[in-house]
Structure 1
Amino acid sequence: MSTFALPVLSSNGSLEQYIQTVNSIPMLTQEEEIELATRHQQHEDLEAAKRLVMSHLRVVVSIARGYAGYGLPQADLIQEGNIGLMKAVKRFEPNRGVRLFSFAVHWIKAEMHEFILRNWRLVRIATTKPQRKLFFNLRSMKKSFAALSDSEARAIAEDLGVKPEEVREMETRMSGQDVSLLADDNDDDAYAPIDWLADAHNEPTVTLERRAVDRLQSEGLLEALSTLDPRSRRIIEARWLADDSGATLHDLAAEFGVSAERIRQIEAKALGKMKTALHSGVVIDG
């Protein structure tokens, strides 16, 4: 029996090339899927498990596209989704009469959601130099709490040397009014970001995060970064504060000579430490 090697997203590879590779892998028929899943379930056949995973990697890519609006690296979203897919294959029971695709959607989304919740809105709001300039100056330059008019947006853009659409985008992102894209709960094929998450709009943690954004306009971000050790700070700055799209987990894994999973652990711990530092300086009214 031939050996199957899972395609991987590496620091030297191309996301487009990866997508082309996984899209070239044929989908399984229902009979093939049942036969492979039965072999894996009854005999722990890893070869069968690999074939099940490989044939559904394109599903992960498709779901990851639905989360592009969060500004997180597609490669990392796909990597997280692949973990969810492997968990789904491990738990899949072919005699239930459900296709693996439908069963795996929940596990794939769950891993992506956890990744988004860990990383979104803490420091990602200002990553490029123009965005940082907007972030630290836009609120003070607004004349009121009302939305900017076209003329006001153009004036601020000219003053700061950025585009009017960048002013509009930053105003929206700083407003705290996150867009929730809901889908039909009965549609297993709908790739909506909120399908599997509770409504957290009024949760205390969300309120604290919004107030922490205000502190980020002054000294908050620098103070939070100063609490990190050099390696953690390097990882946060490379991932979230770089002028370009940010380094991937694999880029930093190669730099520090550790696994991508270890980089993710360090990153998660550092973000948690920064969040604690930011929240400790937020005054809660009432």
Structure 2
Amino acid sequence: MAQPNSSGRQDLEILVASYCQEPSEILLNRIVEAATGLISHFVSPFSFASCREDLIQAGYEGLLKALKRFEPERKVRFSTYASYYIKGEIMRELQRGIAYDKPPWLAEIQLKIYRANEELSQSLQREPSLREIAEAINIKEEGVIQAMLAGNVPLEELDLTSIKSLRYESFRLPIEDQLLLREALSKLSEVQQKIIYLIYYQDLTQTTVAELLGTNQRRVSRLLKKSLEQLAVHLAS
């Protein structure tokens, strides 16, 4: 991702310093113009999205919020301070996007992203970076970006293969394998899915599952064997 150039950042810092001493409409317009590169930096991962103009507008809203709350005496660069507000407004705009359908598993990942964003914002007392959110939910940054776009662009425009775990955790499948497994499970019948869920997720015996389904253990065993064979085929394809 291209970084905003250093001369542009310096111009922005000088303009903001002047604005804080003596606010004016002229300086405000120049700040907005000077921040174009900074906002483009955060919108660039979503440059192919149809909602790009809305994201740019959200970025400028974040810029103005940052300018209103900025305190020069804290000795923090305005571009650093404003970055969290800009990214936060872009994320909120993405969250509002419901133009396209999205599968439940993708909605779950989005919910994790938004919850992580809220929790980190409270603990850090600022908007978290993309890297911090990715670390919190154990999904690579590019995967977080693709998940955030869901609902704002058609599903076929997303690179779902980029949704991968940052690190492997004991006794837990990486996110990419979880998604493959969910996709394979969705191709089984409702009864097959229920049997696998009750046996492998609820740790019930085949006899107990048979009682719950109103059948016998032998039929559950046959259905389970067939289900696992079909799963293997779907996962291998």
TM-score by length of 2: 0.40
Tell me which structure has the larger Cα radius of gyration.
Answer: 2
* Greater RCO structure (CA 8 Å; 6+ sep): 1
Between Structure 1 and Structure 2, which shows a larger proportion of helix residues?
A: 2
